[in-house]
Structure formats: C-alpha cells, structure tokens
C-alpha cells in the first residue's frame, strides 16, 4: 500500500491557511524547499512549511499532488519563515503576503557580487566616538534596542561596532531610509570593509540575486540596504543598525505587508538573536517614548558638524516683512544680508526650498542667480554627495539627511511654512526633525515663515525643548505613541457603495475611531473612491487581542458583503 506523504505550503497569496498537498512516492521534499503547485486552477511556486502532516478527513479527497520540485530556487531558512509569520501577525496580513513581498529577494542563485579589489583602511575614531561605541556594546548585553542620539559621527560608531561583530563571526545589516543615502555611505563603508554588500530596488535583478546568494553563503557579511533588505535570507545576524530611524520613508504604504523597517528590524533581531542600534539626531516620538519607558536604552553622542557649537537660529516673519516692503521675491532682505555675509566670508550657503517642488526650486535658482551673479549655484533634486560643491546649494528637505558641505556658513529654510502644510498630526514632529537636523551643521540657521508664532518655530528659535510639549499633546489627545493607530481604507469605483459600506463597517467596530472620511489627495487613487477609518487602540496587554479581533471583524464583513479586495488594514500608518 502506498504510503501517502502530506505537506503544507505557503503560497504568495492572501490566504489565512496553508494548503495541503501530496508528494509523489518517488519524490522527497523538505521544509523550506520550493515546489510548484496548482491552486484555484493556477500554478504557483510555494514554500514547504510542514512535512508528514495529516489534513482533516473531509479535506483528504480534495488534496492534489504537487507538480514539481523547484531545486534551482534556494531553500528558505526556518528563521525566515518565523520572521515572515511574526511580521504578518503584527501587521494584520498573511504570511503568504509577506512571502510575496520577499519573492523578489528570493531570486534564482546569482553569481557572487563583483566588488572592486581594495585594501581595508584603518577606522579612525575620536576618543569620544570610541567611548560611545563601547557604551553601546555594553548596553547590548541587556537585550534591549539601543537608541543612539547623535547629530554627527554616527557612521564611525556603526563601523566600529560592525567590525567587532564581524570579528566575532557574525553578520551585520545596516538600514538607511532612501537609496540616495546608500550611495553616500557605500564609499565610506567600503573604505573600511571592502567586501560590504549593497542591496536596494535600484540594483538589477541579477545584482540583487548575487547579494542574496552571498548572504545565504554563510560567511559573515555586512549589507547596506533600504527597507526591503530585512527580507534577504539572513543567517547569524549579530547586529542590526537602523540609521535615521525617525524617517517616514522606512514605512511601506502598499501593498501588504504595510510594514515599518524600524519595527521589522527589531522583529528580525529577535528571530536572529541580534543586537539592535537605532541612530538619529532627532529620534521619533515613538522611540523617545520607548526610551522613557525603559524599553530602549538611550546613548548620547554630543559632538556636531559645527565643532560642538549649536547654531544660532534667526526667525524671520515674512508676513511682517511684506508689510514693511522688506521682501525681494522669495527672499527677505534680512536673509539676503545673511547670505551676502556668508559668501563674503568664503562660506557655502544651503537653501531649502518648498517640499518636493522642482519648479519652485528652479524659481529660487533664477532669483538667486539674479541677486548673486558671481556665485556658483548647485541645484539638487535628490540627496547630495558628501562635500557637494557650489557657493549656494539649493534643494529640498532631503538635504537635511546626511548632508556634509565643504564649509557651510548658513542654512536657510526659505519657505518653512511648507514643512507644516500637511494634514497629519505628525506634521509638527517632522518639522522639528527637519529643522533640528540643520542645527550643529553651521553657525546660523534662518527660518523664513508667515507663522513666526507657531510653537515649532518659536520654541526652536528660543532654544527651548520642542519635543517634550509635543509628547504631552499626544498624551492628552490619546495619539501615538500613547496609543496604537490603525487605518482601515475602503476603496471602490462606486461612490455610493463605498459611502454606505464604509459607514456600516465603522458602525460595527466597537473601538474609538474617527471616520469614515475622505483622505488627503496624496492618498487617493485614480478611478477609485476612498474612505478611511482611523482607529485608536490603547497600548495595554489586550492590544494584540484587539488587533486580532479587528482583523476577524473585517474578514467577516468582507465575506458577508462579498467585498473581498476592497478593504485594507494599515498598522502604525506613517
């Protein structure tokens, strides 16, 4: 009698269960291997998650045989599957959706990455940097994430800890929020660790496969990557670093899993038994809250780009300047005087224009060229390289991320109001982060605004704490980090239907919520009507249970109304 071997597999689909399949008698499969199967009349490549299992009796007659093994696809490590399931549970999606997100990472085996031959250079740290690196290393012993608050000098601290981790035979993952920042760091890291690997979506599929193959190989490695890098087949990670941990670019908005790389890095470290280091000059309120509640360990490094001296902040009320005829186009006469003084002293000037507006940036270039015809001007529409040249550098908010000029004398936010012009309770937090990033980089920061009395600007100009009051405001309003936030989005091509069903769904949810409402323009989709429901969950021991119940409620609603595919859940939306 034939001995039947049943397996379960993970499909790259939104399935709450893992289907059973039969393995032909002449074939052997193992957990982690890829197999080709038929599901709902379509072929899929799936991952084997269990072997030698027994389906319920009523399912036995419907179980199909697998079609083939896929030996050219490298197997999935048990740690990867555990990570996928942890991520799925937290972000209220399925492990199959996480596997689908990891599919581009699971390319067929590639050639080892070609890295130019180079000798490892010596890492030089100041005594203060060395002391902070030692403090971080000691703090790792407690098993908690370490929050490194530093305006400058973080890279050297990361590299020191990375070298120590590699010397101990373990691997390192260093995450940055944007591809442009990997370009800035790659040269510096490879000057110390020549065989460092770089992984992001700008790399070709062949290159990504080669990096995945190197990671899978088992030798200790350092990977510099963006938010997709945690999905690499990591083995024996000893250190996970998240630089600019506050940056909202770490959040994946769509499709599922809608994860945040900072939280995912912490989950990955728990699976891998690795230490976690979160670095920022301006930590997120979530991380500061966790530090206050002893979930994170705070470590300070107080040196800055400006020899430890905090910048003087000049606040210019453009509304008042207009009334006094003190404006020349986009610039106040006061700002122009500061620019002239810096240029006359042989210093560089950095101008931050309106957010994400290339047209406005070019307009500033034209104005500046007319006022300062002898100055060399550089316009940047992406994050710059280190030591960017030009007497006057003009760009957007990305210039606050890791930017190092040759001799910066003045930074000016020409249209600071645009930093606050967001329909988001986090707008003040992000404004403080962007402006605080500039302090310590030069002797003078100028803020031009029509809202000079706004607490963000007035507190910064007065040298007061801008973060403490924001945390207190969040506490009073029961907003994150004092609660956990979820967004339910209902999308439909029919406006009347989306209105009716989103209201019915909101009425069925026994939790504090806002909505349904029409989200900001940036969150809408062409041809779709969108209604959003904001749900606030208390941060207590019942949080996990409430999230699970909410997911079950949404699934039941979808089934009852035959509305599958119209509702998405976003945990901890940016």
φ, ψ at 344 (rounded to 5°) = -60, -30
Query: In the numeric block, which tokens belong to residue 137?
Result: 């290393």
CA dihedral (221, 227, 233, 234) positive or negative: positive
Burial (0-12, 13-18, 19+ Cβ within 10 Å), 301? buried
Q: Give which of 169, 226, 165, 160 is closest to 197, Cα–Cα.
A: 226
pLDDT digits (tens, 9 = 90+) for 82-93: 999 999 999 999
> What pLDDT was estimated at residue 81?
95
CA dist., res. 469 & res. 456, Å (int): 10
Q: In what order do the strands lie in the sheet with 275-280?
A: 197-199, 222-225, 171-175, 237-243, 275-280, 146-150, 297-301
User: Can you list the positions of beta strands (E) in 400-507?
Assistant: 408-413, 444-449, 483-492
User: Which ranges constitute the DSSP H helices of 141-273?
Assistant: 154-167, 179-190, 205-216, 261-272
> How distant is the alpha carbon of residue 251 from its chain centre?
4
Q: Give which of 430, 429, 446 is closest to 438, Cα–Cα.
A: 446
Q: Give which of 96, 104, 45, 49 is closest to 69, Cα–Cα.
A: 45
Q: Is the pLDDT of residue 522 over 70?
A: no
Q: Which of 12-16, 24-28, 389-393 has the lowest mean pLDDT?
A: 389-393
User: DSSP letter at 121?
Assistant: P
- Structural domains in the chain, CATH included, are 1-73 (no CATH), 127-301 (3.40.50.300), 312-475 (3.40.50.300), 483-571 (3.30.70.600)
Q: Which whole number is the average pLDDT over 523-549?
A: 87
- For 94, 314, 331, 551, the CA distances from 317, given in Å and listed in that order, are 51, 10, 11, 48
> What pLDDT was estimated at residue 1?
45
Q: Which of 12-16, 262-266, 442-446 has the lowest mean pLDDT?
A: 442-446
φ, ψ at 37 (rounded to 5°) = -135, 165
Q: Is the pLDDT of residue 564 over 70?
A: yes
Q: Which whole number is the average pLDDT over 482-509?
A: 95
Q: Which whole number is the average pLDDT over 537-551?
A: 93
pLDDT digits (tens, 9 = 90+) for 155-166: 999 999 999 999
Is there a contact between 150 and 300 (Cβ–Cβ < 8 Å)?
yes
pLDDT digits (tens, 9 = 90+) for 206-235: 899 899 999 998 899 999 999 999 999 998
pLDDT digits (tens, 9 = 90+) for 36-56: 999 999 999 999 999 999 999
Q: Is the pLDDT of residue 425 over 80?
A: yes
Q: Is the pLDDT of residue 460 over 90?
A: no
**Residue 183 pLDDT level (bands cut at 50, 70, 90):** confident
Burial (0-12, 13-18, 19+ Cβ within 10 Å), 212? buried
> What pLDDT was estimated at residue 362?
82
Q: Above pLDDT 70, what percent of the chain? A: 89
Secondary structure of 375-411 as H, E, C letters = CCEEECCCCCCCCECCCEEEECHHHHCCCCECCEEEE
Helix (H) or strand (E) holding 231: none
Is there a contact between 463 and 435 (Cβ–Cβ < 8 Å)?
no
With the CA atoms of 151, 155, 161 and 167 taken in that order, what torsion angle do they form, in degrees rounded to the nearest 10? Answer: 180
Q: Is the pLDDT of residue 308 over 60?
A: no
Q: Which whole number is the average pLDDT over 404-413?
A: 80
CA dist., res. 379 & res. 391, Å (int): 11
Q: Above pLDDT 90, what percent of the chain? A: 66
């Amino acid at each position: 009698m034939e001995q039947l071997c049943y397996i379960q597999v993970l499909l790259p689909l939104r399935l709450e269960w893992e289907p059973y399949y039969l393995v032909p008698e002449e074939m052997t499969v193992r957990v982690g291997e890829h197999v080709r199967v038929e599901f709902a009349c379509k072929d899929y490549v799936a991952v084997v998650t269990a072997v030698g299992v027994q389906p319920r009796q009523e399912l036995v007659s419907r179980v199909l045989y697998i079609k083939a093994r896929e030996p050219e696809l490298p197997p999935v490590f048990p740690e990867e599957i555990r990570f996928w399931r942890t991520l799925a549970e937290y972000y209220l999606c399925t492990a199959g959706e996480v596997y689908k997100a990891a599919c581009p990472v699971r390319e067929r085996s590639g050639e080892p990455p070609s890295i130019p031959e180079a000798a490892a250079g010596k890492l030089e740290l100041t005594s203060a940097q060395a002391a902070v690196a030692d403090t971080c290393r000691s703090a790792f012993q407690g098993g908690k994430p370490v929050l490194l608050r530093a305006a400058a000098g973080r890279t050297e601290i990361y590299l020191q800890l990375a070298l120590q981790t590699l010397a101990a035979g373990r691997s390192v993952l260093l995450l940055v929020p944007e591809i442009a920042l990997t370009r800035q760091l790659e040269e510096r890291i490879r000057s110390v660790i020549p065989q460092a690997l770089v992984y992001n979506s700008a790399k070709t599929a062949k290159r990504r496969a080669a990096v995945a193959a190197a990671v899978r190989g088992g030798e200790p490695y350092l990977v510099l990557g963006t938010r997709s890098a945690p999905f690499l087949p990591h083995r024996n990670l000893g250190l996970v670093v998240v630089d600019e941990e506050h940056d909202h670019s770490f959040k994946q908005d769509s499709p599922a899993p809608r994860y945040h790389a900072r939280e995912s890095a912490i989950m990955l470290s728990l699976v891998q038994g690795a230490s976690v280091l979160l670095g920022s000059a301006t930590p997120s309120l979530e991380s500061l809250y966790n530090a206050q509640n002893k979930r994170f360990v705070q470590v300070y490094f107080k040196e800055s780009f400006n020899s430890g001296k905090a910048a003087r902040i000049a606040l210019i009320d453009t509304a008042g300047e207009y009334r006094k005829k003190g404006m020349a186009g986009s610039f106040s006469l006061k700002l122009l005087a500061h620019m002239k003084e810096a240029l006359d002293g042989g210093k560089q000037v950095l101008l931050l224009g309106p957010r994400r507006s290339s047209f406005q940036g070019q307009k500033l270039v034209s104005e500046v060229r007319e006022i300062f015809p002898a100055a060399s001007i550089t316009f940047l529409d992406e994050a710059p390289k280190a030591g960017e040249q030009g007497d006057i550098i003009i760009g957007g908010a990305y210039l606050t991320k890791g930017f190092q000029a040759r001799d910066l004398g003045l930074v000016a936010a020409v249209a600071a109001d645009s930093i606050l012009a967001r329909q988001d309770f986090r707008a003040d937090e992000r404004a403080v982060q962007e402006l605080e990033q500039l302090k310590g980089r030069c002797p003078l920061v100028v803020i031009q605004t029509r809202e000079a009395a706004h607490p963000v600007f007035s507190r910064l100009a007065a040298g007061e704490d801008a973060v403490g009051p924001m945390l207190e405001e969040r506490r009073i309003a029961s907003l994150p980090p004092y609660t956990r936030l979820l967004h339910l989005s209902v999308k439909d091509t029919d406006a009347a239907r989306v209105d009716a069903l989103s209201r019915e769904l909101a009425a069925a949810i026994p939790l504090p919520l806002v909505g349904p409402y029409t989200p900001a323009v940036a969150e809408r989709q062409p041809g779709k009507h969108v209604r959003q429901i904001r749900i606030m969950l208390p941060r207590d021991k019942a949080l996990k249970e409430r999230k699970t119940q909410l997911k079950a409620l949404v699934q039941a609603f979808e089934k009852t109304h035959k509305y599958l595919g119209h509702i998405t859940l976003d945990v901890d939306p940016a």
